[in-house]
Amino acid sequence: MEVNNMDPYTAKLAIQLQIDDLNDILSQKNDMGDALIAFETFGVACQYLLRILEGQVLAMDILKQEHANRVLFEELLREERQAVQDHNVARELAGLGPEPPTPSYYSESHNPVLDCHRYLESSISFDPSEVLNFNPVIVPESCVAGPSVQPRHKGKGKAKEVDDPSTYAAGPSVQMPFRGKGKGKAKAGEISEERITHVACAACMEFHPRFDVLELGCRREGDMTSHSYCRDCLIDLFKTSLSDTTLFPPRCCSVTIPLRSCIHLIPSDLVTKYQVKEVELATPNPTYCSNRYCAQFIRTEDITADVAICSECKEKTCAVCKNPSHRGLCPEDPTVQTLMSVAGEKKWQRCYKCRTMVELAVGCYHMQCDCSSPPSRNARSRRVT
């Protein structure tokens, strides 16, 4: 198979399919004679070619990662230069003049930070797909390892000299100045804050101070960082879930956002509404206020003897039929329906005032109910026959 004109990924897949087909053929217990030797020889050649392609694929992945790191380094370098320019402009506007140079342990001829800057500026752009023809740029050794640079101090005094460079960790380190740590927002791509103090919101895509952001552990495939929500977007998410029960409870990546983790970012009244909604959705056959202008959920603690009292408008609602409270038995009650069925069979009668069931045990047909209603003149006409 000709694989020279294929990229390593496609060629590796094609060879792997060839090997699978050979394994299927060789697994058959037919007498193939000389064809068996040819298949086995071809299989050995395919295995050898597969190992070569696996190495090329690995090299391609390494080059892609190196290219992504280079792009990130260039972005950080641009942000640092912009921050330094802003700092110098601010000093000029304040009449302080240029900032005095910070004493450095390194000489001008050997400075790992400058070496890294020169490397990023002089590095060529490349296409990772050209893995077989790519000649990587040799990274200066000073960019790989070396003592860290003494950070810049903002005080009036001079920066302290480095006493023992050997005590510092290896690798270049530069302190990046930033424009404050308030609650202000910064557009992505235009920020100069340190990445360690500000986090990007997954909803509005703006950078916010870390203390004003809820950081979650979930992330989509391909995302560099886990998802986070700023205070405003988090409040909007909770409010939307209260009005749309399909979004309740609030979730991110199909994982419920626990209330205890974001209670410091949500107003107390919204927390109370969330807790009430949580109880409402967990209550079987919930009761709502019969007043159509109110229609608030009535907790089970406010229901006594099938009469629910709204805590907002004090309207009374029948917890059985969900209509305004009424006297007597509720016709929607299953037990009442069973009673009425038995009463029809037994031919029992009901009081014309309170509608209570009356059963004649002994005596005449002229009866008086427990509600003290006067005797009915037409009792004879409604007597049990």
The rounded distance, in Å, linking the Cα atoms of 79 and 87 is: 12
Residue 252 phi, psi (nearest 5): -140, 125
Do the domain assignments include residue 300?
no
Is the same domain home to 12 and 146?
Answer: yes
Quick: pLDDT tens for 87-127: 888 888 887 777 776 655 555 555 555 665 565 555 544 45
Interhelix angle for 8-27 vs 34-93, to 10°? 150
Helix (H, G, I), strand (E, B) or coil at 37: helix
280: left (phi over 0), alpha (psi -120 to 50) or beta: alpha
The answer to whether the beta carbons of residues 43 and 19 sit under 8 Å apart is yes
Of 248, 263, 280, the last residue of a domain is: 280
The rounded distance, in Å, linking the Cα atoms of 191 and 199 is: 11
Mean pLDDT of 18-26: 85
Is the same domain home to 136 and 182?
Answer: no
The rounded distance, in Å, linking the Cα atoms of 161 and 358 is: 103
The rounded distance, in Å, linking the Cα atoms of 385 and 382 is: 9
Do the domain assignments include residue 286?
no
Q: Which two tokens stand for residue 279?
A: 């109880």
**Confidence label for 267 from pLDDT (cuts 50, 70 and 90):** very high
The answer to whether the beta carbons of residues 336 and 313 sit under 8 Å apart is no
The answer to whether the beta carbons of residues 68 and 61 sit under 8 Å apart is no
Do the domain assignments include residue 323?
no
Is 50 exceeded by the pLDDT of residue 368?
yes
Do the domain assignments include residue 345?
yes
Do the domain assignments include residue 312?
no
Number of domains making up the chain: 3
In 3-state terms, the chain is what percent helix, strand and coil (to 5)? 40, 10, 50
Is the same domain home to 353 and 276?
Answer: no
Is the same domain home to 272 and 361?
Answer: no
Q: Which residues contact 352 (CB under 8 A, 6 or more apart)?
A: 373, 376
Is the same domain home to 142 and 195?
Answer: no
Who wins on pLDDT, 336 or 303? 303
Q: Which residues contact 22 (CB under 8 A, 6 or more apart)?
A: 39, 42, 43, 46
The rounded distance, in Å, linking the Cα atoms of 5 and 8 is: 9
Tell me, yes or no, if the pTM score tops 0.85: no
Is 80 exceeded by the pLDDT of residue 193?
no
Is the same domain home to 267 and 348?
Answer: no
Q: Which two tokens stand for residue 253?
A: 């990546």
Residue from 311, 314, 322 nearest 272 by CA:
311
Is the same domain home to 192 and 265?
Answer: yes
Do the domain assignments include residue 339?
yes
Is the same domain home to 141 and 89?
Answer: yes
Is the same domain home to 143 and 35?
Answer: yes
Residue from 323, 344, 321 nearest 331 by CA:
321
Is the same domain home to 75 and 143?
Answer: yes
Do the domain assignments include residue 327?
no
CA angle, corner 165, sides to 161 and 166, nearest 5? 155
The rounded distance, in Å, linking the Cα atoms of 45 and 49 is: 6
Residue 229 phi, psi (nearest 5): -130, 130
Do the domain assignments include residue 75?
yes
State which residues form the domain around 242.
Answer: 178-280
Quick: pLDDT tens for 148-178: 444 444 444 444 444 444 444 444 444 444 4
